[in-house]
Amino acid sequence: DAMVIQNPRYQVTQFGKPVTLSCSQTLNHNVMYWYQQKSSQAPKLLFHYYDKDFNNEADTPDNFQSRRPNTSFCFLDIRSPGLGDAAMYLCATSMGRQANQPQHFGDGTRLSIL
Amino acid sequence: AQSVTQLDSQVPVFEEAPVELRCNYSSSVSVYLFWYVQYPNQGLQLLLKYLSGSTLVKGINGFEAEFNKSQTSFHLRKPSVHISDTAEYFCAVRDFGNEKLTFGTGTRLTIIP
């Protein structure tokens, strides 16, 4: 089945130690999104790629970066994780950026900071 | 700017009883509306969407929602819930021409056996 796959499902890192989360998709969608979801809150958009065009949300901390080496893969890099970065990170894709295009989500990576 | 309000943060319902999860939105232009479900430790799964046409939209798992433009609402309903419906439900809105999907704060549905 075509899908959005996030690895790993659970990630533990140390305070200040860089960490990378990965997302892959078999849907061949043009757009890939990264969301941060803290406990009992709505997902918050960090940034998205339309093809190779990177779009950062204004309130996304500089600590968060992303790479999209090809259509299928997208990475979230946290350069120096703080305790406040512990959250579920969700990757999503959509065929295009049109407002009527639904987003398809992976199962998320839960990040813990020691 | 678009926004979504889910007034009920938690809704407990007895098994096989009906349920309605409320969603109201605010936007100065026409919108597309979505309901997503999130099971524990999983990502979001699309339940249903309203793009145009009939205001009553049917989705997966027996859920349906009705778009009411005059009341700016998009409430989610199911006539008879099951234990497996226990999850967090998010309403989301997207303005015409807006790339950003705005989520409500979610409603945790708990089914009581």
Q: Using one digit for the tens of pLDDT, what is the confidence trace for A24-50?
A: 999 999 999 999 999 888 899 999 999
Q: How many CA atoms lie within 13 A of A55 on its CB side?
A: 14
Average pLDDT over residues B52-77: 94
A105, A110, A111, A112: best to mutate for the B interface, most B CBs within 10 A: A105
Kind plus residue range of the DSSP H or E element containing A35:
strand A31-37
Q: Using one digit for the tens of pLDDT, what is the confidence trace for A59-111?
A: 999 999 999 999 999 999 999 999 999 999 999 999 988 877 889 999 999 99
- State residue B90's pLDDT score: 96
Chain A within 8 Å of B53 (Cβ-Cβ)? Answer: no
- State residue B20's pLDDT score: 97
Cβ-proximal residues to A17 (8 Å cutoff; 6+ apart), any chain: A80, A81
In the block, residue with structure tokens 């839960």? A110
Residues of chain A numbered 42-101 and touching chain B (CB < 8 Å): 42-43, 45, 48, 55, 90, 92, 97, 99-100
Nearest to B43 among A90, A97, A100 (CB): A90
Residue A1 has pLDDT above 80, yes or no: no
Q: What is the mean pLDDT of chain B?
A: 92
- State residue A109's pLDDT score: 95
Q: How many CA atoms lie within 13 A of A18 on its CB side?
A: 9
- State residue B30's pLDDT score: 83
Q: Do A105 and B43 touch (CB under 8 A)?
A: yes
Q: Using one digit for the tens of pLDDT, what is the confidence trace for B78-101?
A: 999 999 999 999 999 988 777 788
Cβ-based contacts under 8 A for chains A and B: 53
Chain B within 8 Å of A105 (Cβ-Cβ)? Answer: yes
Residue B105 has pLDDT above 70, yes or no: yes
Q: Do B105 and A42 touch (CB under 8 A)?
A: yes
- State residue A2's pLDDT score: 60
Encoded tokens for A13 = 């890192």
Give backbone dihedrals phi and psi of B85, rounded to 5 degrees, phi first: -85, -5
Give backbone dihedrals phi and psi of B107, rounded to 5 degrees, phi first: -130, 125
How far, in Å, are B57, B82, B90, B108 from residue B87 at the CA level?
A: 20, 11, 10, 6
Q: How far apart are the first and last CA of chain B?
A: 41
A37, A46, A112: best to mutate for the B interface, most B CBs within 10 A: A37
Average pLDDT over residues B97-110: 88
Encoded tokens for A101 = 């295009």
CA–CA separation, A85 and A37 (whole Å): 10
Residue A26: count of CB within 10 angstroms of its CB: 12
CA–CA separation, B91 and B76 (whole Å): 9
